[in-house]
Copies of this chain bind each other. A is one copy, B any other.
C-alpha cells in the first residue's frame, strides 16, 4: 500500500498496524534519542513521518541518511490526529538502499526553476515538480477516462506524414541519418503538427474518436508558451456541428478539472499556496460558470468600444486577436470562460466550414481568464466543392490531400472537433507559468537536454 492509499484509508488503520514502505528521504531531523525522517514514495506530495528511537538510531546507521537516500522501512503505524501529520511510522527495521553523493543538486534550500531546467532527470525529486507531474498524470488519465466513458475510440494518427501543408517551415523533417538525400520513405517525410485530418477519417466510421499523441513544431520561438515537442489531444465527432463540440469541450474540461481537484487535494493545495490562494478559486469558478458563446463580429465591436484599454488600438473586422484582447474579453467582459466563434476565414485553416456570409468559418477558440486561449476547434467543411475551391484560393496542392477530400464522397457524416495543447492545459490547472516546467524533458530550439 503506497502513501497515497494509506492516507486515504486512515479510518481503517488501528494503532500498531504493521506497515512496510520503500521510498526516498526528504528530511532527517532530531537528536541522539529520537529521529524523524520524512519519507516520500512518489504516490503523493504528502510525506510519511518515520520515527526512530534509541538504539535503533545507531543500529540502522540513521546518521548516514542524507537527502535523497532510498530506504526500506517497516514498523508500527501510530495515528497522530493532533499533529500536523495524521499518522506516523515507528520503525522496527530500516534498510538503507543507497545514499546520495555529496553533490546531489536537490537540496532543502530553494533553487531556481532555471537551475532545475538544467537537470530534468532529477528535478522531479523536488516537492514542486513531484506535484506538477502528479497533476499531469491525473489529467492524462482523466482525459482517457472521459473519452472512453463517453464512447470515444482512441485513434493513433500517424506521426510521420508526407504533408507539410499546415505551415511551411514550421515542420521538422525526418531523414535517414546516414544519407540525407536517400529518403527512407522514398519521399520527403515530416513530423506531424496535428493528427486531425487522420482523426477525421476515423470519425467517419467510429463517430466519436480522439487522438492523444506527441506533435512537433519547428517554430523558432523561445517564449514560455512554446515547445518543439508537445502532446495534443484531438477529439473528432461525426454527426456533430460547431455548437455540439463547444458543449463537449466545456463538459470535458469541467469534468477532468473537477475530478483532479477531488482526487489530488494535497497537490492542488501546494499549487494554490504558490499562487497566493488564487488557483483553486479560479478553477472552481471555471467549473461553476456557464460557458458564454460570443461571435467574433460582436467581439470586434466590444474591443472597438474599449480600444483605449489596449496597446494595439487598431481594431477592425479581420484582425487576429492578440493575447491582450483575448484576456480582456475573458476577464473584463465575460469574467469567465468564453468561446469566440465565427472567425474570418482568412485567419483559419482551409478545412473549416464556410458560413453563409461567405466571410467567416464555423470555428471557435476557448478563452479563459488568466491564460487566454486554451484550445480551438471547428466544424469541418463538408462540401467537396467548397473545400476544393478553398485549397485553390490558398494555393495548397490538392493531390496530397485528395484522400481527405474523398472522405466527402463516401457517405460523409459532417464532423467537428478541436485540439487541446496538453501542456497548456497542465499549465492552466497547475498555475505554472512556463511550459518547460510541465513536461518531463522539454524540447526547445537550440538544445536537447538528456
Interface size of A by CB at 8 A reads: 107
Q: Name which residue of chain B comes closest to A401, CB basis.
A: B450
* Cβ–Cβ contact A440 & B213, under 8 A: no
Stretch at the interface among A130-138, A284-292, A315-323, A370-378: A130-138
Most B Cβ at <10 Å: residue of A136, A173, A177: A177
| Nearest CB of B to A390, in Å | 19
The verdict on A172 contacting B176 (CB below 8 Å), with A443-B185, A446-B186, A448-B185 known, is yes
Within 8 A of B (CB), among A168-193: 169, 171-178, 180, 184-191
Does any Cβ of B come within 8 Å of A153's Cβ?
Answer: yes
Shortest Cβ distance from A446 into chain B, in angstroms? Answer: 5
For A155, what are the chain B residues with a Cβ–Cβ distance below 8 Å? 133, 137, 440
Whether the pair A5, B151 counts as a contact (CB closer than 8 A) is yes
On whether the beta carbons of B414 and A97 are closer than 8 Å, the reply is: yes
State how many angstroms separate the Cβ of A62 from the closest Cβ of chain B: 15
Determine the chain B residues whose CB is within 8 A of the CB of A172 once the complex forms.
Answer: 174-177, 184
In the complex, what residues of B have CB within 8 A of residue A67's CB? 411
Task: Kindly identify which residue among B98, B151, B439 contacts A413, using a CB–CB cutoff of 8 Å.
Answer: B98
Q: Which 7 A-B pairs have the closest CB atoms?
A: A42-B206, A68-B411, A173-B177, A70-B413, A121-B201, A158-B441, A101-B409
Can you report 19 A-B residue pairs in the complex whose CB atoms are below 8 A from each other?
A2-B151, A22-B413, A23-B207, A42-B153, A70-B412, A70-B413, A100-B409, A121-B201, A124-B202, A157-B441, A164-B177, A177-B218, A185-B443, A185-B445, A185-B447, A186-B447, A198-B440, A201-B450, A202-B440
